[in-house]
Structure 1
C-alpha cells in the first residue's frame, strides 16, 4: 500500500488518522528496542521516552503507545496554533511534532510563521528540519517532503 493510499484511508479518521499514517510509514515498527540513527533507544513506532535497549513490546502495547504519543503531539499542535487549521495541516504538523517534540515545535520559526498567518512560509519550514546528529538524513528528507505536501493542501 502506498503512502498516499494510507493517508487517504486515514482521512476517514481525520487528522489523527492521517498523522498516524505518516508516522507509521516513516517510523516503521520494531517490537525490540534499537538505537536510532543518532543513538537514541527507540521502540515500536519511534517511541523514545523511557526506552532502554533490550526492551520489548507487543503490537497491542505499541498501538497504545502510538495512540498516546500521537494524541499528545496533536494536542500540542492545537494548543500552540492561534488559528484553526484544516485536518491535513494538523496531521502534517502532528507528524512533525511527534518526531521533533512539542518543545521544538513550540519554539520553531514554523509555528511563528503559521501564527502570523504565513501558512506557505510555515509549511516551507518543514523542509529545513532534515538534520539529526548534525547530519542530513535521507529518511527525514522524505518524511518532511510528505509532511510539507500535506501541510500545503489547499494553498
Structure 2
C-alpha cells in the first residue's frame, strides 16, 4: 500500500523566543511548507509543523480515491511519544491535565492535531536529529530559515 512520508521539524531562537517550523514530503523534499511565530517555544513549533503538514495532506487520496496513509517522521520525542505512548488519551480522560495534575502544555495545539490524527490514517516515526538524515536536515533548515528575524 502506498504511504505518504512527511518529515517535520521545529526550531526556536531562545526558548521561548522567535520560532519556525517546516515540513517536506519524502523522498525529494517537495512539496514543502514552513512558517514562523515571533513568540513561541521549540515544542510548539514541533507540534505546529505536524498540524500544517496534516492540514495540507490529510485529504490526499490514492488512484482509487482511498485516503492515503501518512507517516510523520520527526526528531521530536515530544510529538512521537505523544502518539506512540497515547499520552493524548490520558489527557482527554483527565480533563486535559497531565500526570502531575497540571494543565497540559500546548493544549491549544494538541487538540486540533489529535483531531487531525483521529480523522486520518496517521503513524509516527522518530528519527535522530542532526544525524545526517537528508530529509531531517532539510526540514530543520526550513524551520530555522522560517524563524522571524
- Scaled to the shorter chain, the TM-score interval is under 0.3
More helix by share: 1
Considering Cα pairs closer than 8 Å and 6+ residues apart, tell me whether 1 or 2 has the greater RCO.
Answer: 2
